[in-house]
């Protein structure tokens, strides 16, 4: 009854899955770390031994700030789809932090195939190329 995002008849209903996931995560954190439970007389996190004190909302904000700061420090890798200037087809370029864009040698018939490759296989490609660069 505390999480009204699950009922569609309220103003708090989530229309986007991302917003719903964030709201559920925030509520779960509050429920497990901040709220005192009547039967336990402590929070579930304290009962499980995860923490030794009752958190406040400022503690949750501090954890979120630390997460965002760490995420901003991580270098950003971008993939783009571009058409071949001569002939048909598309190719993918990758831009690593502090370097020029590099062309990936694979040729794709449609831009949809190229975007599918980015979505499904770019992580493996990036991992392989970073391990090769580390070996040199």
User: Does the model's pTM come out above 0.85?
Assistant: no
Quote the CA–CA distance of 98 and 28 in Å, as a whole number.
Answer: 39
Segment-wise mean pLDDT, segments of 10 residues, the chain, 136 residues: 67 77 89 90 93 93 89 78 87 85 84 89 82 53
pLDDT confidence of residue 136: 47
Distance CA 136, CA 130 (A): 10
Tokens of 64: 């979120």
SS3 per-residue string spanning the chain: CCCHHHCCCCCCCCCCHHHHHHHHHHHHHHHHHHCCCCCCCCCHHHHHCCCCCCCCHHHHHHHHHHHHHHHHHCCCCEEEEEECCCCCCEEEEEECCCCCCEEEEEEECCHHHHHHHHHHHHHHHHHHHHHHHHHC
pLDDT for position 125: 85
């Amino acid at each position: 009854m505390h999480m009204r995002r699950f009922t569609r008849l309220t103003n708090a209903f989530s229309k986007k899955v991302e917003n719903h996931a964030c709201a559920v995560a925030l509520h779960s954190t509050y429920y497990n770390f901040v709220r005192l439970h009547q039967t336990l007389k402590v929070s579930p996190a304290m009962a499980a031994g995860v923490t030794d004190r009752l958190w406040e909302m400022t503690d949750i904000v501090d954890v979120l700030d630390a997460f965002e700061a760490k995420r901003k420090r991580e270098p950003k890798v971008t993939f783009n789809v571009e058409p071949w200037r001569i002939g048909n087809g598309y190719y993918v370029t990758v831009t690593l932090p502090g370097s020029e864009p590099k062309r990936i040698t694979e040729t794709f018939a449609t831009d949809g195939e190229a975007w599918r490759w980015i979505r499904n296989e770019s992580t493996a490609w990036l991992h392989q190329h970073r391990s090769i660069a580390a070996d040199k």
